[in-house]
Structure 1
């Protein structure tokens, strides 16, 4: 037998069940033979998701050494070894190694999304082989296999339904559709969207109710889940804004350093200095110019922010994501499970032509009618509750602390509604034991049950409004049962359609009392009313969205759900207004076909519905094209490509699939959208703190460069040695910078707009401030040497060792005190600034002073650094020069000459 032409079965949902069986050379009762299944497996391959090539640990380690900073440090270390400055060289190498180790361990767990996809589908499958239902590994399922699935099963391949019995599936992880999907065998149109293919089963989704058989049409990477996996592999993760800014900053610093080195080298040669001596001076300049502590401090500051966020249920997987979220100005969020609770609850009730909104609150065992509180005691309301409890196969129990539920989510929602009233579901069920049932089917769209109450019988029915009304001859109005006229029937249908358009799923409920047990009891029913269902919004989300708006962050809903449902939720959350349009996925062109008008419309649309993974990627690409920093939240398999493409992907921890969690940069453990606001605040704070310690490090290091350059060009009698410069940087840079990295946020931080993605870490205004700060420090420290020489040691001539020591210690203490200049709040007293109030800054200052004095007290260290000061008067000059630099910088800041 030839292999069936599987590749040409592009739209199996449009082919009737008999034809699809014929095309795949399969039999619904006997299935494939073991021999034929093995033959097909050899042709089509295993039913598994292929993973992209993972990044090896060795490659992750190598990547830690690829950066401009590491290049500069490596050159400086090489020059140190060339001129036999062994201590300098080994000290620089130690800095490189420490930074690489930290980065390696922080990134070791990345790039595991394909492994998660494989775990998601590594389950057994039940198939019909040789006329028997057997269980096989899901990897061995082939096209033409007859799958048998029932409630609770995961579907292991894409398949066309050929038999269905009360068959429903949960496809929310793939389509975003919150409600279970009723499955049937009817052929559909070819252009039906994924979420509306009611005769198809998809790999990775779940059966929530009933059972059925389906013939496998696609396996492995040809499934819809495989298509998502391919998108995940293809979606590229662009460098984060922080990484881009540090790269830009590094390049500028390299050119500035190289330029100064050339100028100083030429000036030295013109002054008659030897070439070898000038090369040694270049080592000192290179060490002075490079902020060795910047990579380590940036990494540790981000790590601290990551740990702090973990306390608030925000798990950050990539360090750079901490700052990236702080700069986010667009959040593209999924609806189901992110903005909503991913539960089906009663949200609307209509009895005797009077509509009423309801809000079920199980925790308080009450039901509140927003529009009309008097409805709670009406006979129609009582009958509606009785029908909801009796015509129901689900189970629900609440003991005041925890909930237990099973069965169809919609029926569970009905039981919750009944549980919130005085008469509980089990009370109704005990009073009216069930004796017969007409199960729900996709043909009738109705379910009915027969119950006995003493000598009488009670019929309860629920179903689609237009279908159930055909079995109703009367309607309950007030305390009376009146005839259901054509006009009244029409009005009920109009009201139901109106509510359906607002995003509710509407069901009708009817009943009848009879004296005799009837075999065919679905007739002459009395309409009790309608109930509308919705996936309710999370209560904390509106406040979080409002805070996002005040912070200048645009929130966009993108969902696979119905447009009316999406808009209804968006209006409740404050995301959209009544006049706003919802963009339907069918109206979204491929990205490369978008006109400028299309792009403009997309940018101003708050809600996108019935979208596919490709649509999500296109929208994110558009925002990124407009230089926006995009955060994407999601929980389903269908969200994975967009989560990876976004500047920062945010997955849900409780409801999120493993695929979404693995591919995302951040995971919200509590699934709370409000946690994103906290993370944004932390991210903004960290970016501000990064700016603080970068300015601190650069102004300190530039002061060293200016001192070395001045001494070299002017051929002064004193100079700093390379090892001394490295000691100064390691002692005074890291601890103060780390302390700045944990400074608390300014109170107004969430009232300003996000920084543009084009905003550099150090702009022109801040470069000017850095130059002013470093110049003041350099001038006061060189001045201290001259004061010491003129006032204390003039008769002894120039003492190069003493001059070096005065310069060495005055520079250390000036840089330690310079940390207090890193507050940029305007109009705030010096002692009330966030830096001055930061206890860690004080710990750092004390620690730096102790470390610097160790170089004087411990003789071996003092000998290595070649330092000694003769008397207490020299120490006074050192301390005076340090405080003078602090005073002068505060003066120029208060005069608003610099920031």
Structure 2
């Protein structure tokens, strides 16, 4: 016995599978044998993952250079007696640690979602008697019975089927239920094409059958996905990577400056305690305490904006990562498409009709070849084709609060919808043509037939036969076709098959319809699949597909304009995927070029060396497995791309977790996919991803603006201390005053940049280079310029006031206020990364003005309130001092503006 997914059970005949598994197709296993096998193979559950304890995971969150810097800042401020400021800094550390702790637990949630997904009740034959058992107790060789509505409890090799169809969309991504049978298949058949196997976690939609358990627990296909989810590593976002590198550099620079300050002070013979205090003041001034809070708040504002766009961010850094996306790997079904089968084209002998409207909402128009609304009375063949689709049908449409959904097969639902668009209500048709017999669709029969009563007398003359099924089968069953005038003529098989091929080449799923008028002799034997009734007349073809969403093409075009590649990765068939890709603009509109469409079989035969180049060229990947989805994401990341991956099924979870941004569907997505993702689309619409990328770019822009503003000011505070030690002069700003500047301006000035609206043209520029450092050349130049202006201005004013006879407290208060005023002026220059200050709309961000107003009140308080004078060592200033402060701030602003203009001219040349 070989109960393992490595055995090609699908390639074996039924009797070979029974022999291999030592199973009985009628009696099943005995209770004793089942108990022995349960002991040998273990329960039919996915293994629990060994994880570290919560305390270890919590402590691990502080293992980050930036957190080290914050802890040092907290210790220093505590040592200086500023317990409130110290508490704020340590509060930031705790909040960051808790956020990281919660995010790390997401993988555990996704894995647990997989474990619970396979738990269900199974109908099993043991000792010849059917019984209901927990799926946990299934063992290899068990005989499992299936019927509509059952969740498949393990991987089954089917031995008997009756019209069995299984919804495998969560596993394979295919948009329609898969027909199942028991015939052996070639060993090379991919998982998504194994029609003789039912997989754990999928759902039986119609029919029934029986199968032998060939894999349980970790050896099932779902178990393989569980392993991939557990093995897939989440990547650090571009922001966290850059902040880590920046934090290391910042730590080295701060410690070096503090060490130089202390050494210079000692060499100059200054008091060691005072010199050490000055070194601490330098470190406190240079540490951007507000940076972590700014990152969190800026991203949180971006998250709120994305939520209004129907995109819910589950992991905060993903809001920033969206702005760096270079490739979107999107699923087809439900993301680019409506996930609602829709009839688009109707063919009757000699005529072609188009159908408007999408989805299951029965609103739309059927137009004739002249573009006019088609009246059923004038097109008999069309009327009979639509009637067959509505009456020979087991699905139902349901309306709830003006939202339409279906019960039953999506293909049959599409036939109901197009009939309703023509005025054929299913309930009315059922009343006029009561159904008296049904021959269901099977994979062997390839058609469905219903008999309807026409009169009260009954008998052959009073019954009507309606048939729908595959084109090849119905063309073979019909000897005649219905013409434009409703008259019966000999069947033109070549024309019918040619029309079907033409429609199928467009990615459409084509069904044929036929009718046997009353009075024809009936010799049909429904028990014989190869038998057919006499007198069938072909009425037409109905071609359908899952149509693209209304905004999908525009969203794809917007992504291309923004320099973001879009690649479709789906489990659906290549022809269907290619047709949708062409309609939404993923192809050039003239059919796929060689290499732009690859299948899972193509990828499986491709070497590791050839894969990156092939992935870069291709736009569509069809019939791919979960492992291949993960492999594609990894190949793109290896090529330097920042990848967003969309998905809704269990099969998407490993790739969602591995992608830089995993995007799950909110309406149709499984809980496993949502738990593995960073973002959930509430409306399942691809256009929402494009909108979220735009918001992500805006969020990162605002973060960059804050960094442009905070780094020069923080560094200048430290350099002021260093200059004082080098010159052997009194400190122009005290450590407590530096803390005041840092904590108030970061909140009241810097954080106001988080509310900046998105800049015009944000989606016309290419994605941000993931390798571009935070400290670009332009930023370093501006950093040095602003630092120089702040240090020179504060020393000039401090020296001027001292020379004019002002006390030490007054001179320091003047220098403190000059720092804040220059920071406020400089804030306006940081509102745009591309435009000079005079081209930014002044009132586009009113929070800037609110922040400056509140900061002004704070500065007046620290300058004139006696209690604050005593706490911070400040003193009241005269009007003439404020004039000098404002003049110095204006000069600094003018110099920055001139430098920005020079940088812009240099960039253009």
Aligned residue for 1:796? none
Residue 336 of structure 1 aligns to a residue whose secondary structure is: helix
Contact 1:64 1:100 in 2 (8 A): no
* Structure 1 segment 456-471 matched on structure 2, within 5 A: 456-471=462-477
Aligned residue for 1:497? 501
Contact 1:315 1:669 in 2 (8 A): yes
What is the distance in 1 between the residues matched to 2:675 and 2:190?
28
Question: 1:168 deviation in Å?
Answer: 0.4
What is the distance in 2 between the residues matched to 1:470 and 1:242?
63
* Structure 1 segment 631-710 matched on structure 2, within 5 A: 631-710=644-723
Verify: 1:98 aligned to 2:99, yes or no.
no
Question: 1:340 deviation in Å?
Answer: 1.2
What is the distance in 2 between the residues matched to 1:279 and 1:497?
85
Contact 2:180 2:196 in 1 (8 A): yes
Question: 1:685 deviation in Å?
Answer: 0.6
**Residues 301 and 614 of structure 1: CA distance in aligned 2, closer, same or farther (over 3 Å):** same
Residue 688 of structure 1 aligns to a residue whose secondary structure is: helix
**Residues 136 and 517 of structure 1: CA distance in aligned 2, closer, same or farther (over 3 Å):** farther
Contact 2:5 2:220 in 1 (8 A): no
Aligned residue for 1:531? 542
Verify: 1:119 aligned to 2:110, yes or no.
no
Contact 1:78 1:89 in 2 (8 A): no
Verify: 1:442 aligned to 2:443, yes or no.
yes
Aligned residue for 1:153? 150
**Residues 895 and 403 of structure 1: CA distance in aligned 2, closer, same or farther (over 3 Å):** closer
Contact 1:288 1:705 in 2 (8 A): yes
Contact 1:718 1:800 in 2 (8 A): no
Aligned residue for 2:282? 285
**Residues 399 and 140 of structure 1: CA distance in aligned 2, closer, same or farther (over 3 Å):** closer
| Aligned residue-pair number | 883
**Residues 545 and 124 of structure 1: CA distance in aligned 2, closer, same or farther (over 3 Å):** same
Question: 1:98 deviation in Å?
Answer: 2.7
Choose which of 184, 195, 198 in structure 1 pairs with 2:192: 195
Residue 179 of structure 1 aligns to a residue whose secondary structure is: coil
Residue 170 of structure 2 aligns to a residue whose secondary structure is: helix
Residue 336 of structure 2 aligns to a residue whose secondary structure is: coil
What is the distance in 2 between the residues matched to 1:732 and 1:853?
14
Question: 1:89 deviation in Å?
Answer: 6.8
What is the distance in 2 between the residues matched to 1:551 and 1:624?
19
* Aligned-residue CA RMSD (Å): 2.5
Residue 198 of structure 1 aligns to a residue whose secondary structure is: coil
Instruction: Tell me the alpha carbon deviations over residues 124-153 of structure 1, each in whole angstroms, 9 at most, x when there is no partner.
Output: 222222333222222112111222222222
Verify: 1:58 aligned to 2:55, yes or no.
yes
Verify: 1:171 aligned to 2:168, yes or no.
yes
Aligned residue for 1:749? 762
Aligned residue for 1:566? 577
Aligned residue for 1:885? 892
What is the distance in 1 between the residues matched to 2:902 and 2:441?
79
What is the distance in 2 between the residues matched to 1:661 and 1:540?
23
* Structure 1 segment 385-396 matched on structure 2, within 5 A: 385-396=386-397
Choose which of 349, 353, 358 in structure 1 pairs with 2:355: 358
* Structure 1 segment 439-838 matched on structure 2, within 5 A: 439-454=440-455, 456-484=462-490, 488-515=492-519, 518=522, 520=524, 522-577=533-588, 578-580=591-593, 581-589=596-604, 593-596=607-610, 598-793=611-806, 799-824=807-832, 830=838, 833-834=840-841, 837-838=844-845
Aligned residue for 2:432? 431
Aligned residue for 2:130? 133
Choose which of 837, 851, 854 in structure 1 pairs with 2:861: 854
**Residues 611 and 7 of structure 1: CA distance in aligned 2, closer, same or farther (over 3 Å):** closer
**Residues 725 and 52 of structure 1: CA distance in aligned 2, closer, same or farther (over 3 Å):** same
What is the distance in 2 between the residues matched to 1:173 and 1:364?
27
Residue 805 of structure 1 aligns to a residue whose secondary structure is: helix
Contact 1:481 1:526 in 2 (8 A): no
Question: 1:372 deviation in Å?
Answer: 4.6
Verify: 1:227 aligned to 2:231, yes or no.
no
**Residues 834 and 324 of structure 1: CA distance in aligned 2, closer, same or farther (over 3 Å):** farther
Residue 388 of structure 1 aligns to a residue whose secondary structure is: helix
Which stretch of structure 1 is more off in the superposition, 198-207 or 113-122?
Answer: 113-122
Unmatched 5+ stretches in structure 1: 794-798
Instruction: Tell me the alpha carbon deviations over residues 559-585 of structure 1, each in whole angstroms, 9 at most, x when there is no partner.
Output: 111111100011111111314341111
* Structure 1 segment 392-403 matched on structure 2, within 5 A: 392-398=393-399, 401-403=402-404
Contact 1:331 1:630 in 2 (8 A): yes
What is the distance in 2 between the residues matched to 1:8 and 1:363?
42
**Residues 372 and 207 of structure 1: CA distance in aligned 2, closer, same or farther (over 3 Å):** farther
Verify: 1:238 aligned to 2:235, yes or no.
yes
Contact 2:71 2:93 in 1 (8 A): no
What is the distance in 1 between the residues matched to 2:505 and 2:202?
27
Which stretch of structure 1 is more off in the superposition, 719-728 or 877-886?
Answer: 877-886
Aligned residue for 2:415? 414
Which stretch of structure 1 is more off in the superposition, 234-243 or 346-355?
Answer: 346-355
Question: 1:642 deviation in Å?
Answer: 0.8
Question: 1:855 deviation in Å?
Answer: 3.0
Residue 672 of structure 2 aligns to a residue whose secondary structure is: helix
What is the distance in 1 between the residues matched to 2:407 and 2:326?
41
Instruction: Tell me the alpha carbon deviations over residues 36-68 of structure 1, each in whole angstroms, 9 at most, x when there is no partner.
Output: 222211111121122434565434432342222
Contact 2:327 2:642 in 1 (8 A): yes
Question: 1:761 deviation in Å?
Answer: 2.2
Instruction: Tell me the alpha carbon deviations over residues 69-115 of structure 1, each in whole angstroms, 9 at most, x when there is no partner.
Output: 2222333555666xxx4414773353033342255147515322112
What is the distance in 1 between the residues matched to 2:573 and 2:268?
79
Aligned residue for 2:367? 369
Question: 1:207 deviation in Å?
Answer: 0.8
Verify: 1:844 aligned to 2:859, yes or no.
no
What is the distance in 1 between the residues matched to 2:322 and 2:631?
20
What is the distance in 1 between the residues matched to 2:879 and 2:444?
99
Which stretch of structure 1 is more off in the superposition, 24-33 or 754-763?
Answer: 24-33
What is the distance in 2 between the residues matched to 1:207 and 1:142?
20
Aligned residue for 1:863? 870
What is the distance in 2 between the residues matched to 1:871 and 1:248?
45
**Residues 397 and 309 of structure 1: CA distance in aligned 2, closer, same or farther (over 3 Å):** closer
Aligned residue for 1:327? 324
Residue 499 of structure 1 aligns to a residue whose secondary structure is: helix
Contact 2:512 2:540 in 1 (8 A): yes
Choose which of 207, 212, 215 in structure 2 pairs with 1:210: 207
Contact 1:87 1:723 in 2 (8 A): no
What is the distance in 2 between the residues matched to 1:140 and 1:172?
26
**Residues 489 and 693 of structure 1: CA distance in aligned 2, closer, same or farther (over 3 Å):** same
Residue 480 of structure 2 aligns to a residue whose secondary structure is: strand
**Residues 706 and 626 of structure 1: CA distance in aligned 2, closer, same or farther (over 3 Å):** same
Residue 751 of structure 1 aligns to a residue whose secondary structure is: coil
Instruction: Tell me the alpha carbon deviations over residues 375-433 of structure 1, each in whole angstroms, 9 at most, x when there is no partner.
Output: 65311101101111221122225589232531222111111111111232333322222
What is the distance in 1 between the residues matched to 2:903 and 2:267?
40
Contact 1:504 1:532 in 2 (8 A): yes
